[in-house]
Amino acid sequence: MTDECIAIKYEYIRKDQTSMLMPTLDKLDAQPTGREKSTGSAGNSFGVNATASSKGSSGGGEDISAGHKYTAYMPTERHASQYNMNHKNRGLALIFNHENFDIPSLKSRQGTNVDCENLGAALKKLHFQVNTYKDCKLREILKHVDHAASQDHTDNDCIVVAILSHGEHGYLYAKDVQYKLDTIWHYFSAHTCPTLAGKPKLFFIQACQGDHFDPGVLMRRTETDGETSMSYKIPVHADFLIAYSTIPGFYSWRNTTNGSWFMQSLVEELNANGKKHDILTLLTFVNQRVAIDFESCVPDCPIMHQQKQIPCVTSMLTRILRFTDKPSNGV
């Protein structure tokens, strides 16, 4: 981002078989190329000790939960094609909205309040309990996330976390420092938040992931144009979905009046088809809206003029997710 970046080292401490995150802050020289060195071991950025080993499937009817380190209530049938969205409540939606920063190199994010208000309204229509937090420092973010993860989600369908902020090369910005997203979603993994085990955990990230621009390509027409529910194990990081506003390394566009391209498209799609299509179909059409309907208009700056953007979805979902309607007495 310019003169100086703040990076975070993560120390995981085992306490009562729960992995707790303790951030320590170190100032590092800026890395304009975004080639930050990884502080974690290969293939395990969450600091989770995988001590249990699998010695075969449970297809023979054995009780694999006996003596297993982590157990959780099964919210749906083992081979169900769709998530159980018939709990009493839809669940929590946390929106972290960042407009102003303590870091001098970061400009105010004009238009983000429109995104926050519109996204909150769309999620409320889908029966979420929406909590918004403005310009939080990292420790405040972790406090709110920890509080949400420590609640009993037994009667909830799922959880949503939205982060609207600056970002670059794998990092997001709190008001005071930068951090990696796994700092947040680690709290909701199946072994740290067992009442959300087997339930969807959705993250919507509106932030740059770099400083590259996408000029797009001009397209022209061509001339030819049923089992029983026995116990079973799931990965602790299953059932997550992360939707980024742009692909790694690229700029994410925001209109100072109407809000960001990604959030505008996400809100429109949730409002129009939120109870009709499954989440991956919804996000496919969000990608379509952003890719086709938007183009930057900065004629005074040729390098930023007529640029395009494409969101990026990472899914670890194991079933189809639809926001089916709730009874009138629901949340």
Q: State pLDDT tens for residues 115-147.
A: 999 999 999 999 999 999 999 999 999 999 999
DSSP state of 108: P
Q: How far is residue 210's CA from residue 111's CA, in Å, rounded to a whole number?
A: 20
Catalytic pick from 166, 169, 186, 193? 166
Q: Is the separation of the CB atoms in 274 and 325 below 8 Å?
A: no
Q: What pLDDT is attached to residue 19?
A: 35
| pLDDT at site 48 | 35
Give Cα 147 to chain centroid, integer Å: 17
The Cα 253–Cα 93 span in angstroms is 24
pLDDT at 72: 62
Contact 292, 284 (CB under 8 A): no
Nearest CA-CA partner of 49 in 13, 85, 3: 13
> Which letter, b or e, does each residue of 268-285 get, where b requires 16 or more Cβ atoms within 10 Å of its Cβ?
bbbeeebeebbbeebbeb
Cβ-based neighbours of 166, under 8 Å, separated by 6 or more:
1, 98, 101, 106, 109, 172, 173, 207, 208
Which one is catalytic: 5, 136, 158, 208? 208
- Alpha helix locations (H) across 78-210? 112-125, 138-150, 182-185
How far, in Å, are 21, 122, 284 from residue 126 at the CA level?
32, 7, 19
Check if 186 is active-site: no
Question: Is 166 annotated as catalytic?
Answer: yes
What is the pLDDT, as a whole number, of residue 70?
63
What is the distance between the alpha carbons of residues 97 and 132, in angstroms, rounded to a whole number? Answer: 7
CA distance 204 to 123: 12
User: CB burial class (10 A; 0-12, 13-18, 19+) of residue 174?
Assistant: buried
What is the total residue count of the chain?
331
Low-confidence ranges of the chain (pLDDT < 70): 1-74, 222-230, 328-331
Domains of the chain: 92-213+237-316 (3.40.50.1460)
Q: How far apart are CA 33 and CA 39, in angstroms?
A: 18
Rounded CA Rg of the chain: 21
Backbone dihedral angles phi then psi of residue 188, each to the nearest 5 degrees: -105, 10
Model pTM score: 0.77
